[in-house]
Structure formats: structure tokens, C-alpha cells
Structure 1
Amino acid sequence: MLEIARYEAERRLRGTVALAVGIGVLSLVFLAFFPSFGDADLEGLVEAYPPAFQEAFGIQAIGTIEGFLAIEVYQFVWLLLLGLYVAYAAASSIAGDVERDRMDLVLSLPVSRGRVVLETFAALCVPVLALNAIVPVAVYGGVLAIGESISVADLAMVHLLSIPYLLACTAIGLAISVVVTRASVASRLAIATVFVLFLIESITASTDGYEWIGSISPTHYYDPTAILVDGTYDWGGAVVLLAATTVLVFLASVLFAQGDIGS
């Protein structure tokens, strides 16, 4: 059992470690610049940005270590760039195997198409879990190294609650992967979809009467700034993201089972 999941997870292991190290080092580089913020005109800096940008990245609290981390690491690197990456990786998974004719070999074995989708998703979860286990250690060490302190509970929660968000982005990519059989097209489409959803939430969040439109975006349900700066945990948002992930993975299984490979 789970042979496909184990194989795919092992195949992604090296890339996952490299990505974790890269994000960890980048976080330390960002943190090294934080002490210099004490001499900056932060209020003028914040006011220089348009309201939509302030709302999207929560830069009002950039003067604190919590706000700085939320903006520089979690709003930009974690929420946006990592969200795009996991969607990209998921979109190239099944579509790539179909395009290279590897899927025909896999399905010649006694496995159902639904099992292929589920085990592929399970393998894609491994990098998400690994990154959320490794990176916070580097971030916390970096905070201590510059003589600052941060709530361990809030740092742990910003990573724990990012898991449903990243899984939702992964599920978006997986759903696209079973519909579009060219890996390059599927990957670009997944990136575009997640980015457009991010923009929708960012733009509508600062408008009157249109905030509800942003509820279609995964970023609506995960706010690193609220967690780190205010200590607010959106458990309801996590449930919504997990439910959406379940629906998307189920939909991907159905579509893959009914579709014609290579058509």
C-alpha cells in the first residue's frame, strides 16, 4: 500500500530539503536587517504605500519584530511565493506523468485512478509538512540571534495554520493537473489561478460592499499578521480551507477517473 505516495515523496525529498534551507537562510537575511529599522521613518514609509497594498501585506506593524516577520517572511515568501510554488508543483505532477507517458505504465498496475490521485496528493503534502517543521526553527533562532524575542506559541501557530492554506493551493494545482495534460501549461495555469485569487482578496479587502468576493480566495482564511501581531487564530478559516481541499481532491479524483489520458 501507498507505494505511489512513498515513491513520489522520496523523489521530492531533495528538493524539499533544498527549499527549506533556502527559505531558512532567506529568513535569516531578512532578520539581519531588522535592527536597522530603528532609525527609519516607519510611519512615513507605511503611508507611502497605497491602501490596497497596506491591506494585502499588513505593513502597519512593520516596526515590531512580529510585524516585520509577518510582512517580510510570511506575507510575501510564505503566503504568496510558497503558495505559488506548491500549486506549480502539484499542477506538474499528474500532467507531467501523462505527458511523458509514464501514467500508462502506472495504470497498467493493479491501481485505480482514484488511488493515483490520492497518493499523489499525499506525496505533495510531505514538502508542506517538512517546511513547516524546519523553517520555524531557523526563524526562531534568527530572532534570538539579533537580540529580539517572539511568542513561541504564535510562531508555531503561524506555521500550523499555514498548512491548510498550502494544502488548498496544492489541491488547486492538482485539480488543474488532471484536466490539463501538458505539464507546462498546467503549471502556468496553476500559478496564474493562485496569484489572481491573491489579488482578488487584496483588492476587495479594502473596498466597501465587495469584501465578500475575497472569500473565494484561500488567502482570505489565512492571515499571518493577525497571528503574529495580534495573537488571533482563525480556526474557522482553517476548517474552510481543509473542506475546500477535500472537495478539490475529490473532484480531481472524479475527473481523472472519467477522463481520457492523452486526449
Structure 2
Amino acid sequence: MLHSVATKTLFDQRRALLAWTVSLVLLVAMYAAIWPSVRDQPAMTDFLDSMPPAVRSMLAMSGADMSTPVGYVKIEMLSLMAPLLMILYAVTTGAAAVAGEEDRRTLDLLLANPVSRGRVVLEKLVAMTVGIVLLAGVTATALLTEGNLADMSLPTGPVIAAMGHLALLAMVFGTLAGAVGSSTGNLTAARGVPAVLAVIAYIVNGLGPQVSWLEPFQKFSPFYQYTGHDPLTNGLSVPAVLVALGTVGAFAAVGIAGFRRRDVSA
């Protein structure tokens, strides 16, 4: 295991991944426990409908209805909380891939092994991807199992599709963090740039339907690839998957190229 950068990275992250897993399971359990009290409260849906269109567009995800399990999960989890947590994990992990090693003064020890710089970046991103997929899978399993216990029945296929798109959203920003960190060696930039762009992308996607000058840019937002076709209702979108994978591949290529051509801090 210690001869592979990817498996060594995952081994080092085992405690953090366990903590993330437990936290996500408990988060879903909390939302599932609240569902019965929300289900029979039409005032919640009326309150959402009374919000300004711009606010509703940011939070409601395709006109979600709080009185249904699917609508409840869209609004309470998938519109903000789940993307926030997954992107947080992805950005911190992607930033730590190279810039974190350099900040801790351990990168020179890693590069002293018979591995190329390109392989280091690629395997670090593979480890990040495995972690993201694991957390998305745990969230999907928790939604389906804990949801059933709280009489919050959700369709299996669309839940898996939604978690797949959520994983791709996290991979986009995590790979961007890796690219910035690999190209600059600056840990602050590797964390800050993706975080700022994620906020901008979220706003552009949310306000695109309401603000005319933002509408042309909405489809360029990774959040549009995540929610634009409403995966929890319509399932997987192949075009959105291909766009997200293309974006991840482009950021990975930038990170590899940037790391290969720069000097590493001692």
C-alpha cells in the first residue's frame, strides 16, 4: 500500500473519512427525523411560495414542494447543505494534494521516491475522487435507509443519480483546488480560489433564471450541471456528466502541467 501514492493518501485520510462518513449519516438522520413534522405542515410550502422569486430560485431547486419527500430533500439537503459539505471536503483534500504537502515541507520526501510529478498529481486526485465517491455513496445509502425508517420514501435510481451528480460537482472544485495548488504551491490560493468560484457559480446558477444578464452564463456553472435537469426527479443526465468529466479532466491536465514546470519549495 505504501508504494502507491493514491493508497498511501487514502490510508492517511482514514480517520478524516470516517469522521465525514459518520457526520453525513447523522446529518441525514436529522433531516429524516424532522420530515414527519414538516410533512403535515402546509404552512411550510406556503412560506416557501411567499418568498421573492430570486430567493426561491436559489433554494427551491426546480420548484420543489416541501410536502413531498423528494421536494423536502431537494430544499433541505440538495440545494445547499450537501453541495456545501461535499465541496468543502473536495477543496480541502484537493488543496492538500500538493500545496498541503509543500506547506508541511514533506513534498521533497515524496518526490524523492521513484514517482513522476505527473503521477503524484494524478494519484492524489484519484484518492480525492475515491473519497468523494465514498461520501456520496454513504449519503445515498443513508437517504434510502434512514428515509424509509421515517416514512420518507425516495426513488432509488434518482437518489443514486443525484448523488452521482453531487460527486461530480465536488470533483470539479476539488480538481480545481488541486490544479491551483499544484501550479502555485500556495495553500491559501488553492483553498480560496475554488471557494470563491463555487460561491459565484452557485449565485449565477440560482439567479440566472431571474436576472437577465446572468442567464447566458448559467449553463457554464457547475451547479447547473448538478441541478439543471433535476436529477432527483429525472435521473442521470449524460450531457451534464460529460461536461463535468471534461471540466475535471481539463483541471487535472492544468495541475499536472503546472506542477511539472515549476520549482518546488525546499
TM-score under structure 2 normalisation?
0.90
Q: Distance in 2 between matches of 1:262 and 1:216?
A: 35
Match of 1:41 in 2: 43
Residues 94, 128 of structure 2: 8 Å contact kept: yes
Aligned residue among 182, 187, 191 for 1:183: 187
Structure 1 residues 224 and 42 mapped into 2: Cα distance closer, same or farther (>3 Å)? farther
Contact 2:5–2:124 under 8 Å retained in 1 = yes
Tell me which amino acid in the other structure corresponds to 1:237. A
1:151, 1:116 → 2: CA distance?
39
C-alpha distance in 2 between matches for 1:250 and 1:8: 20
Residue aligned with 2:119, SS: helix
Structure 2 CA distance, aligned partners of 1:81 and 1:206? Answer: 26
Cα distance in 2, alignment partners of residues 200 and 210 from structure 1:
6
Q: Distance in 2 between matches of 1:35 and 1:91?
A: 40
Q: Structure 2: which 5+ runs fail to align?
A: none
In the TM superposition, what is the alpha-carbon distance from 1:234 to its structure 2 partner?
2.0
For residues 160-206 of structure 1, give each alpha carbon's deviation from its aligned partner in whole angstroms, at most 9, with x where no partner exists. Answer: 23232221121111111113323244223332222222222222232
Read off the aligned partner of 2:247 and give its amino acid letter.
A
Question: Are 2:10 and 1:9 aligned?
Answer: yes
Higher relative contact order (CA 8 A, sep 6+): 1
Deviations 1:135-161 (Å, cap 9, x if unpaired)?
222211221112232211111211123
Matched, 1:162 2:166: yes
Q: Does 1:23 align with 2:27?
A: no
Give the secondary structure class of the aligned counterpart of 1:222. helix
Whether 1:57 and 2:55 are equivalent positions in the alignment is no
Query: Corresponding residue for 2:81?
Result: 77
Q: Deviations 1:91-115 (Å, cap 9, x if unpaired)?
A: 1321111122211122222221111
Contact 1:58 1:225 in 2 (8 A): no
Out of 163, 176, 195, the residue aligned to residue 172 of structure 1 is: 176
2:251 alignment partner AA: L
Q: Secondary structure at the match of 1:68?
A: helix
Alignment CA distance shift 1:225-1:250 (3 Å): closer
Q: Distance in 2 between matches of 1:51 and 1:239?
A: 31
Separation of aligned partners in 2, 1:180 and 1:58: 38
Counting aligned pairs with the same residue, the percent is 20
The number of residues matched between the two structures is 262
Say if 1:175 and 1:251, in contact at 8 Å, map to a contact too: yes
On the 8 A contact 2:95/2:190 being kept in 1, the answer is: yes
Question: Structure 2 CA distance, aligned partners of 1:210 and 1:120?
Answer: 35
Question: In structure 2, what is the equivalent of residue 94 of structure 1?
Answer: 98
Q: Distance in 1 between matches of 2:183 and 2:258?
A: 7
What's the Cα RMSD here? Answer: 2.1
Choose which of 249, 254, 257 in structure 2 pairs with 1:251: 254
